[in-house]
Structure 1
C-alpha cells in the first residue's frame, strides 16, 4: 500500500528520486533491525516509507541534519560489515513520524541528537546519494530563503537538462513530435517537475521522479477545453479539460517560460478549433440570462474563466453565501428575509462592523484597503474541506490541525463569525451547492481535537431546518436557484467578477481588499531581491487572490418570468439576442 504522497513535502518542495533501502536499527532481533522500505530524496527533506504500514513514515528535514555521510567504512558497524555494503548515515536533531498504522493524524515529533542509518539495496548508488544530500543540505542551510530557493531551482533545472522525454512512451510509432519542454504538473499545494511533450495526437507529461506514474497521457481528440492560467501571479499555467465538468480538469501544467505555455496553448487551440466551440463570459452570460444555464452552472463557468481552479487553493472557485437564516426550524425560500444581501460583500453585511472598518480605512496611509483578510484563501478552502482532505490541512499547517474551537464545527457558528468576526469575511465554495455531502461528515473518524466544552470535533452541526447533510445541500441548492437569488445574483457577480471589483466602484461598494490580491497588483519580475520575492509570493499565495475581472460594466439581471415584459428588458439584452450563445453538450 502506497502511503507516501507529495503532501508530505513542505510547501515549495520537490521530490527528486527514490531508492529501495533498509532502515538499520541497533536494537531488536536481526529481522527487526532492518526495516525495508523506500528512501525518498526531496529538496528539503529525506523521507523513508517503510513497506510495513504499522511502521510510521520518517521525515528528516535537511536543515536539522548535523552530519551526512557514508556509514560502514573501516568496519565501523558490525551489521554493515556482515552485509559488505555501505550505508548512509544521517545525524540530526529532529524527526517527524507520520501515518503510523496508516492513520492520518498530526505528525509526532522527536527532538534531540540522533543517528539513522539507511542501507541501499543497490549499494553502488550510496556515493551519488550522499553527494546529492550534501548539496541539498547546503541549500537548506543558507540563511536567506531567496538564496535557498535559487540554489534548489538550479539543482532542479540541472536535473531536467540532463533528462528528456522518453519517446518509447509514445502510444504509436507513427506519432509526429511537435514540441517538447520542461514544466511542472500542478495539484493542490504541490507541483511535480518533468517533461511535457505534444505530438499530432497526444499530450504527454513525464514526471522527473516517475511519481505517481511514469507518464500522463491525454488524447487530443478527447480535449474539450483549455484555459491559460496565472500561477503564482505569473502567466505560466495551462489547464486542460476532457469533460464538461468545470470542477475536474485532466491536467494543470505550470511552465518555466511564458512562450512555452503560449506555444502549447496555440497548438491545442488550433486543433480544437475544428472540434469544439469556444465560450466567452458574454456567451455564458446570455445563456444564463435566458435561463439556459442554472445559477450554479453559470457561477462555475465564471470561476473557470476568472482563473479559479480546484488545483490551485490560492485561486479556488468561490461561491456566495445565499442563506442568512440558520436558526429557524423551517426554511422559507419565499421570504426575502431568509436571504443574504447579495449587493454587499460579506464584510459590509454587518453595519456596526463596517463602521469600524471604514474608520480604520480612512485613517490608513496609501495604499488603503478595507479588509485585512480575503474572502477566499487556501486556509479557508481547507477549513471547509478538512474532513475529506485532512492531509492537505496537515501539509498547509506543518503537520498540525487547527485549534478545535476554530475548526468548521457548525454552519450557524461559521455564518455568525462571518457576520461579526473582526477579520472573517469568507465566502463559500462550490461543494456547498453540489451533490456530495461527505465534507460535512467525519467519515474517516479523524481525531480533530476536543473543544473547550469537552466535546470532540466530529460531523458539522447543521441548522435545525436540515434533517441530514444531504438535505442541507439540497436546500442550499434550492436557495441558489430560487427566484430571489436569480433576481439578485448579478449584484454579487458585479462585486466578485465585475465592475465593482476595482477602482471607485469598489470603494463605493465597500469592496476594497489588499492591493496584492488583485491581478497586476505586483510585478514579481520587478523585485530584484530574491528574499523579498519569495516573501511576497508566499504572502500572496497564503492570503488569497481576487478573481480575474470578467466584466467592466454592470452585469445585466436575469430574465426571470417576472422580468420578461418588454418594458423591463434592457437595451443591452435586446441588442445581443441574435448571438448564438449555445452550450456544447
Structure 2
C-alpha cells in the first residue's frame, strides 16, 4: 500500500528520487533489525516509507541534519564490511513520524541528537546519494530563503537538463514529435517537475521522479477545453480538460518559460480548431441572462475564466453565501429575509463591524485597504474541506490540524463568525452547491481535537432546517437557483468579477482588499533581491488572490429571474455545448 504522497513535502519542496533501502536499527548488535522500504530524496528532507504500514513514515529535515556520510567505511562497522555494503548515516536533531498504521493524524516529533542508518539495496549508489544529500544540505542551511530557492532551482534544472522524455513511452511508433520542454505538474499545494512532450496525437508528461506513475498521457482527440493560467502571479500555467466537468481538469502544467506555454497552447488550439467554439465572458453572460445556463454553471464558467482552479488553492473557485437564515426550523425560499444581501461583500454585511473597519480605513496611510484578510485563501478552502482532505491541511500547517474551536464545526457558527469576526470575511466554495456531501461528514474518523466544551470535533453541525448533509446541499442548490438569487446574482458578480472589484467603485461598495491581492498589484520581475521575491510571493499566495477582472461595466440583470431550478432536472451539472475564452487568457473547448 502506497502511503507516500507529495503532501508529505514542505511547501515549495521537490521530490527528486527514490531507492529501495533498509532502515537498520541497533546495527551490529544481537537486536539488529532491518525495516525494508523506500528512501526518498527530496530538496529539503529525507523521507523513508516502510513497506509495513504498521511502521511510521520517517521524515528528517535536511536543515536539522548535523552530519551526513557513509556508514561502515574503514571497518567502522564489521557487519556492513562483511556484507561489502555501505550504509548512509544521518545524524540529526529532529525527526517526524507520520501515518503510523496508515492513520492520518498530526505528525509526531522526536527531538534530540540521533543517528539513523539506511542500507541501499543497490549498494553501488551510496556514494552518489550521499553526494546529493550533502549538496541539498548545503542549500537547506543557507541563511536566506531566496538563496536556498536559487540553489535548489539550479539543482533541479541541472537534473532536468541531463534527462529528456523517454520516446519509448509513445503510444505508437508512428507518432510525430512536435515539441518537448520542461514543466511541472500542478496539484493542490505541490508541483512535480518533469518533461512535457506533444506529438500529432498525444500530450505527455513524464515526472522526473516517476511519481505517481511513469507517464501521464492525454489523447488530443479527447481534449474538450484548455485554459491559460496565471500561476504564482506569472503567465506560466496551462490547464487541460477532457470532460465537461468544470471542477476537475485532467492535467495542470506550469512551465518555466511563457513561450513554451504559449507554443503548447497554440498547438493544441490549432489541433482543435475545426470543432471548437470560442466564447468570451460576455457570451456566457448572454446565455445566463436568457436562462440557458443555471446560476451554478454560470459561476463555474466565470471562475474558470478568472483563473480559478481546483488545482491551485490560492485561486480556488469562489461561490457566494446566499442563505442568511441558519436558525429557523424550516427554510422559506419565498421570503427575501432568508437571503444574504448580494450587493455587499461579506465584510460589509454587518453595519457595526463595517463602521469600525471604515474608521481604520480612513486613518490608514496609502495604500489603503478595508479588509486585513481575503474572502478566498488556501487556509479557508481547507477549513471547509479538512474532513476529506486532511493531508492537505497537515501539509499547509506543518503537520498540525487547527485548534479544535477554530475548526469548521457548525454552519451557523461559521456564518455568524463571517458576520461578526474582526478578520473573517470568507465566502463559500463550489462544494456547498454540488452533489457530494462528504466534506460535511467525518467519515475517516479523524481525531480533529476536543473543543473547550469537551465535545470532540466530528461531523459538521447542520442548521435545523436540514435533515441530513444531502438535504443541506439540496436546499443550498435550491436557494442558489431561486428567483431571489437569480434577480440579484449580478450584484455579487460586480463585486467579485466585475466593475466594483477595483477603483472608485470598489471604494464606494466597501470592497477594497490589500493591493497585493489584485492581478498586477506587484511585478515580481521588478524585485531584484531573491529573498524579498520569495517572501512576497509566499505572502500573496497564502493571503489569497482576487479573481481576474472579467467585466468593467455593470453586469446586467437576468432577463428570466424565475429560472427553473435544475434540481428538478437531471443534474445541476448538465453538460454544456459551450465553453469560455477570456479576453486576456484564452481557453478553447470542443
TM-score, normalised to structure 1, is 0.96
1:55-80, CA deviations, whole angstroms, 9 ceiling, x for partnerless residues?
00000000000000000012212331
Q: Work out the CA distance in 1 between the residues paired with 2:445 and 2:177.
A: 49
Q: How many residues align?
A: 584
Q: 1:465 to 1:130 in 2, by over 3 A?
A: same
My pick for the range that moved more, 234-243 or 269-278, is: 269-278
Partner in structure 2 of residue 576 of structure 1: 576
State the shift of 1:276 in Å: 2.2
Q: 1:273 to 1:138 in 2, by over 3 A?
A: same
Q: Work out the CA distance in 1 between the residues paired with 2:269 and 2:489.
A: 32
My pick for the range that moved more, 210-219 or 82-91, is: 82-91
My pick for the range that moved more, 78-87 or 347-356, is: 78-87
Q: Work out the CA distance in 1 between the residues paired with 2:56 and 2:9.
A: 15
Contact 2:26–2:32 (8 Å) recurs in 1: no
Contact 1:315–1:544 (8 Å) recurs in 2: yes
Partner in structure 2 of residue 223 of structure 1: 223
Contact 1:563–1:569 (8 Å) recurs in 2: no
State the shift of 1:257 in Å: 0.3
Contact 1:22–1:35 (8 Å) recurs in 2: yes
State the shift of 1:573 in Å: 26
Matched, 1:502 2:505: no
Q: Work out the CA distance in 1 between the residues paired with 2:221 and 2:567.
A: 47
Q: Work out the CA distance in 1 between the residues paired with 2:267 and 2:566.
A: 45
Contact 2:482–2:565 (8 Å) recurs in 1: no
Matched, 1:484 2:484: yes
State the shift of 1:328 in Å: 0.3
Q: 1:126 to 1:580 in 2, by over 3 A?
A: closer
1:158-197, CA deviations, whole angstroms, 9 ceiling, x for partnerless residues?
0000000001111111111110000000000000000000
State the shift of 1:577 in Å: 18
State the shift of 1:569 in Å: 27
1:91-139, CA deviations, whole angstroms, 9 ceiling, x for partnerless residues?
0000000000000000000000000000000000000000000000000
State the shift of 1:279 in Å: 2.3
State the shift of 1:275 in Å: 1.9
5+ residue gaps, structure 1, are: none
Provide the secondary structure at the position in 2 that maps to 1:562: coil
1:212-234, CA deviations, whole angstroms, 9 ceiling, x for partnerless residues?
00000000000011000000000
Q: Work out the CA distance in 1 between the residues paired with 2:575 and 2:10.
A: 53
State the shift of 1:258 in Å: 0.4
State the shift of 1:81 in Å: 2.7
Q: 1:30 to 1:56 in 2, by over 3 A?
A: farther
State the shift of 1:280 in Å: 1.6
Contact 1:383–1:408 (8 Å) recurs in 2: yes
State the shift of 1:560 in Å: 1.9
Q: Work out the CA distance in 2 between the residues paired with 1:391 and 1:383.
A: 12
User: Over the residues paired in the alignment, what is the CA RMSD in angstroms?
Assistant: 4.4
Q: Work out the CA distance in 2 between the residues paired with 1:62 and 1:562.
A: 60
Q: 1:329 to 1:60 in 2, by over 3 A?
A: same
Q: 1:567 to 1:467 in 2, by over 3 A?
A: closer
TM-score, normalised to structure 2, is 0.95
Q: Work out the CA distance in 2 between the residues paired with 1:23 and 1:276.
A: 55
Q: 1:422 to 1:309 in 2, by over 3 A?
A: same
Matched, 1:247 2:247: yes
Provide the secondary structure at the position in 2 that maps to 1:266: helix
Q: 1:274 to 1:90 in 2, by over 3 A?
A: same
State the shift of 1:270 in Å: 1.1
Q: Work out the CA distance in 1 between the residues paired with 2:351 and 2:233.
A: 34
State the shift of 1:83 in Å: 2.1
Q: 1:447 to 1:60 in 2, by over 3 A?
A: same
Q: 1:181 to 1:575 in 2, by over 3 A?
A: closer
My pick for the range that moved more, 319-328 or 80-89, is: 80-89
Q: Work out the CA distance in 2 between the residues paired with 1:238 and 1:217.
A: 15
Q: Work out the CA distance in 2 between the residues paired with 1:536 and 1:504.
A: 26
Contact 1:314–1:541 (8 Å) recurs in 2: yes
Contact 2:319–2:428 (8 Å) recurs in 1: yes
Q: 1:570 to 1:248 in 2, by over 3 A?
A: closer
State the shift of 1:409 in Å: 0.2
Q: 1:573 to 1:343 in 2, by over 3 A?
A: farther
Contact 1:188–1:311 (8 Å) recurs in 2: yes
Matched, 1:86 2:89: no
1:316-336, CA deviations, whole angstroms, 9 ceiling, x for partnerless residues?
000000000000000000000
Q: Work out the CA distance in 1 between the residues paired with 2:54 and 2:171.
A: 39
Q: Work out the CA distance in 2 between the residues paired with 1:524 and 1:561.
A: 43
1:383-435, CA deviations, whole angstroms, 9 ceiling, x for partnerless residues?
00000000000000000000000000000000000000000000000000000
Contact 2:28–2:78 (8 Å) recurs in 1: no
Q: 1:30 to 1:260 in 2, by over 3 A?
A: farther
Q: Work out the CA distance in 1 between the residues paired with 2:53 and 2:151.
A: 35
State the shift of 1:567 in Å: 31
Q: 1:174 to 1:564 in 2, by over 3 A?
A: closer
Contact 1:382–1:389 (8 Å) recurs in 2: yes
Q: Work out the CA distance in 1 between the residues paired with 2:128 and 2:269.
A: 43
Contact 2:486–2:563 (8 Å) recurs in 1: no
